[in-house]
Amino acid sequence: MLGSPEAYELIVGSVSKSVPSVSPTLAEGGFERLTKAKLLRSTSPGRYKTRQPGKFWTFPGRSKGMEPLLDRVRVYWDVMAKRRGGPFGERLELVRASSSVMRQYMNALHRAVDEANLAATHAKGEDTALFLIEGSVRRLLPF
């Protein structure tokens, strides 16, 4: 449930069935399920707020069993980016390294991605936006 597109909306603190960025397919029953799970509370008909404002949720990534949920959320992120977002920055490196050293490096990469929360704000501002920060390493071929 925490990996659902509806749960992802908790980042902004409140959600509504009337918000145009949430498709009817995604919203159908999702808000009620989140209310039943005590992750949301109803403030008025069709409007909800999180019970934990200000809490940061870290998506568990490609943990075993999470792949289908992450795939669903990625579709939602892609729709948001297509409608109102787009690329912000990218950094690539091609490295020949030992797999064991790269596994150690992944710990540092995880910390760096998590530290993006230091820049987070809950207040709407002139230049605030919702950013997706990803850290991944792909093994291309033995070399």
Kindly state the tokens that stand for 24.
């009817």
In 3-state terms, what secondary structure has residue 141?
coil
Give domain limits for the chain. Answer: 5-119
Pairing between β-strand 14-16 and β-strand 47-50 as defined by DSSP bridges: antiparallel
What share of the chain in percent tops pLDDT 90?
A: 31
Between 9 and 64, whose confidence is greater? 64
| Per-residue model confidence (pLDDT) at position 60 | 64
pLDDT recorded at residue 101: 95
Residue pLDDT, tens place only, 103-134: 999 999 988 988 888 888 878 899 999 999 98
